[in-house]
Amino acid sequence: MEKLDEVLVRAKQDLSCVNNKEGLGSFYQNYLGKNGKVTELMKQMKDIPNEEKKSFGMAINNLKQELQSLMNEKEKEFAKKKIQDRIDNTKFVDLTIPSNKKRGSLHPITILQEKLIDIFLSMGFTVEDGQEIETEYNNFEAVNIPKNHPARDMQDTFYLDNGQVLKTHTSAAQNRIMKKYGAPLKAIFPGRCFRNEELDASHENTFFQIEGMMIDKDVSVANLIYFMKEMLTNVFGKQINVRLRPGFFPFVEPGFELDISCPYCDGKGCRVCKHSGWIELCPCGMIHPNVLKMGGIDPEQYQGFAFGLGFSRLAMMDFDITEIRLLNSGNIKALSQAKIK
């Protein structure tokens, strides 16, 4: 019995030095494990006179229970300490303190995108999603840019190891959308595009476009002009004139560059339009028969127009932003200076 008391005293001393889980494990082995001190004592049971066996047994059980509960307490202590450590090492933000910071707002690109989507929805277009990682086929072949076509050089492309590409233009979704809906079709598809550009004040490697397609019987350039004028008049909140100049894109025939009458000086000539009264805005054209065919649409029956509006540029005009890199910078101070008209 004295031995039991001794073991308890030793155990308490040992336990007071334990300060982690591993220590607790070895403590258990030393006392309650297969060759632990308490287990050894139990083995001595056979040498105890019969009349004392009962009380010895009970004492040993008590000792075991006592050690077990001491260990449990230690374990709880560790768990508590772990939480306390985390609390001590975490910087808490008090969400109830009123902020002296400016409220956040939507990004200029998002604001413009939503505005454009609303306008096109009101004109009966659907809004489609494009993918940022595209097959080479969809990005090039399906829009009439076969392998080795020089037009591929116009778009310095990020190729992935698996042969796919980061889409260089929203036109990459044309084929999928034609196959999905067939003709007639009126859709826009905004999205992020990527090109390996040298960065400067007006070039970015990541930029936003919004592609539009209208395919139906008897669609002509007149429809293209009408929809573009309507859209731009809505964006700028005043009458905007457009003019078309010839432009080459393999997926349209004829292809155009669409200019808008300068919204800043109403075409009179100013710094922004370099005194010409016009600003180059958006390439467009009548969808090439090959493109319709690859999309499963019969070019004998249907025609259509398409446009690819780089709306980083439109956003810069709409918000008076002079640096294209600002749009991707996440620089709240600079972005919040963008004037929302």
- Distance (Å, rounded) from C-alpha 278 to C-alpha 242? 8
Q: x/- contact string, 93-132, with ligand DAH (CB under 6 A)?
A: ----------------------------------------
Binding of ligand DAH at residue 311 (CB under 6 A)? no
Which secondary-structure segment (H or E) carries 284? strand 278-287
Minimum CB distance to ligand DAH, residue 201 (Å): 20
Binding of ligand DAH at residue 252 (CB under 6 A)? yes
> Residues 6 or more apart from 4 whose CB is under 8 A from it?
41, 59, 60, 63
Q: x/- contact string, 204-233, with ligand DAH (CB under 6 A)?
A: -------x----------------------
Q: Please report, for the chain, how many H helices and E strands are present, in that order.
A: 12, 9
Q: Which of 225, 232, 221, 226 is nearest to 304 (CA)?
A: 221
Minimum CB distance to ligand DAH, residue 122 (Å): 21
- Distance (Å, rounded) from C-alpha 155 to C-alpha 208? 15
- Distance (Å, rounded) from C-alpha 132 to C-alpha 136? 12
> Residue 307: helix, strand or coil by DSSP?
strand
Minimum CB distance to ligand DAH, residue 322 (Å): 22
| 252 vs 297, beta carbon nearer ligand DAH | 252
Q: How many residues bind ligand DAH (CB under 6 A)?
A: 12
| 71 vs 259, beta carbon nearer ligand DAH | 259
Binding of ligand DAH at residue 189 (CB under 6 A)? no
| 72 vs 220, beta carbon nearer ligand DAH | 220
Pick from 120, 208, 307, 319: which binds ligand DAH (CB under 6 A)?
Answer: 307
- Distance (Å, rounded) from C-alpha 246 to C-alpha 25? 82
Binding of ligand DAH at residue 308 (CB under 6 A)? yes
| 55 vs 226, beta carbon nearer ligand DAH | 226
> Residue 143: helix, strand or coil by DSSP?
helix
Site for ligand DAH in 257-296 (CB under 6 A): 283-285
Task: Output the residue with the shortest Cβ distance to ligand DAH.
Answer: 308
Cα angle value 224/226/232 (rounded, 5°): 100
| 294 vs 306, beta carbon nearer ligand DAH | 306
Pick from 306, 314, 317, 327: which binds ligand DAH (CB under 6 A)?
Answer: 306
- Distance (Å, rounded) from C-alpha 13 to C-alpha 11? 5
Q: Which stretch binds ligand DAH (CB under 6 A): 217-225, 264-272, 288-296, 305-313?
A: 305-313
| 70 vs 258, beta carbon nearer ligand DAH | 258
> Residues 6 or more apart from 174 whose CB is under 8 A from it?
142, 143, 211, 213, 251, 287, 291, 295, 306
Token pair recorded at residue 15: 């336990």
Pick from 169, 186, 288, 313: which binds ligand DAH (CB under 6 A)?
Answer: 169
> Residue 256: helix, strand or coil by DSSP?
strand
Residues forming the site for ligand DAH (CB under 6 A): 169, 171, 211, 249, 252, 255, 283-285, 306-308
